[in-house]
Structure 1
Amino acid sequence: MNRTDPGNDLAHLLVESAAGDHSAFARLYDLTSARVYGLVLRILHDRSHAEEVVQESYLRYWQHASEYDPARGSVISWMMTIAHRRSVDRVRSEELHRQRGSQYSTANTAVPPAPVTEPLEQREEAATLRQCLSRLTELQRNSIELSYFSGMTYPEVAAHTATPLPTIKSRIRDGLRSLRTCVKTGEQ
């Protein structure tokens, strides 16, 4: 082993590791783990995730040591590239997990039950409206009911009642004013 060139030393240790030499791989780990861990931690900002990614990276180094090509760069560059890719994959995976969790939470948020007072208030408002409608003239009430409750347009109400359109508009306008005043004051 050439002790003067750390790159050659790492290359030799990787070749030995590819042949199944556990002690060579342990020495490779000792010489490179601080740099690999530092890179991964800078990307992930979480010690436990960084430790997992470093472990996955070293497993990949062990399993794929024979695929290292010295013509494509140094051993440490090869190792750091693998660690970087695994770190980025972890960041993406965690982000996707957070997004899915957020979407699930949003989709499954329970709709709060309607307060007990809402149906009571609605019944009271309906009773007030019925009472106020009964105070209108028959012509006003009939025009409003046809327009608002039957969904007819003003011209359709005019045609249905055989009344001129301006008259229908006046009846509805006057009737709505009376209803608004009656509902606001709550007269029953």
Structure 2
Amino acid sequence: MRSMAAVPPDDASSGGTADLAQLVRRSSRGDEAAFGELYDATSARVHGLVLRVVRDPAQAEEVTQEAFLEAWRTSARFDPDRGSALAWLMTIAHRRGVDRVRSAESASRRDTTWHDRSQVVPHDETAEAATGALEARRVRAALQSLTDIQREAVELAYFGGYTHTEVAAMLDLPLGTAKTRIRDGLIRLRDTLGPSRKEVAP
């Protein structure tokens, strides 16, 4: 895999969405040169997204490499009817970044388990923790109710911390389309999680 130091600042020279999709298709047939072109065209954006998620340069580079390795292994599964090649790559990278963060948090929790268990926890704090865990499970389940295109937009905006304009650029969409996907996804989340199902004004 190539070094991140050698990548160009963006994928402006790649030609466009159709060209990236073609590179993915060629990569799925074992074309290493095509995959190298795909990497050069998209690695800066992918690395930028991962860095925003993991917030550590060294880990971001590792996760970026892992994301591209996964993309190489799973390139045959890319379906252009479900989204652009860039969106597909960003989704893989975002998932890898979130997994790295969760793994680090899990390791940290294991390191402090003995200390936590030795403390006397008041009943109200226990109830609060249980409620928080329940809410987190409900949110994760609700996210699965979204369509793939809604979920990737919502995750980038609200878990990746990107603006609507940045999400539009990452998913290679018009700004209005990106806003619509985020809005529709949030409405569906609200309807799934909320106690009522009120109509939302357009």
Give TM class, smaller chain.
0.5 to 0.7
Offset at 1:4? 8.6
Could you tell me which residue of structure 1 aligns to residue 112 of structure 2? Answer: 102
Offset at 1:5? 4.5
d(CA) in 2 for partners of 1:41, 1:4: 22
> Deviations 1:150-186 (Å, cap 9, x if unpaired)?
xxxxxxxxxxxxxxxxxxxxxxxxxxxxxxxxxxxxx
Q: Structure 1 or 2: larger helix share? A: 1
- Normalised to the residue count of structure 1, the TM-score between the two structures is 0.53
d(CA) in 2 for partners of 1:83, 1:91: 12
SS in 1 for 2:25: helix
In the alignment, structure 1 residue 91 sits paired with structure 2 residue 104: no
d(CA) in 2 for partners of 1:89, 1:57: 11
Could you tell me which residue of structure 2 aligns to residue 146 of structure 1? Answer: none
Structure 1 unaligned blocks of 5 or more:
109-188
d(CA) in 2 for partners of 1:20, 1:70: 18
> Deviations 1:126-173 (Å, cap 9, x if unpaired)?
xxxxxxxxxxxxxxxxxxxxxxxxxxxxxxxxxxxxxxxxxxxxxxxx
> Deviations 1:100-141 (Å, cap 9, x if unpaired)?
111246679xxxxxxxxxxxxxxxxxxxxxxxxxxxxxxxxx
Paired residue type of 2:46: V
In the alignment, structure 1 residue 14 sits paired with structure 2 residue 24: yes
Cα 1:66–1:106 change in 2 (3 A) is same
Residues 34-183 of structure 1: pairs in structure 2 closer than 5 A: 34-104=44-114
Offset at 1:52? 1.2
SS in 2 for 1:31: helix
Using CA pairs below 8 Å that are at least 6 residues apart, which structure has the higher relative contact order? 2
d(CA) in 1 for partners of 2:86, 2:47: 13
Root-mean-square deviation (CA, aligned residues, Å) is 1.8
Q: How many residues align?
A: 106
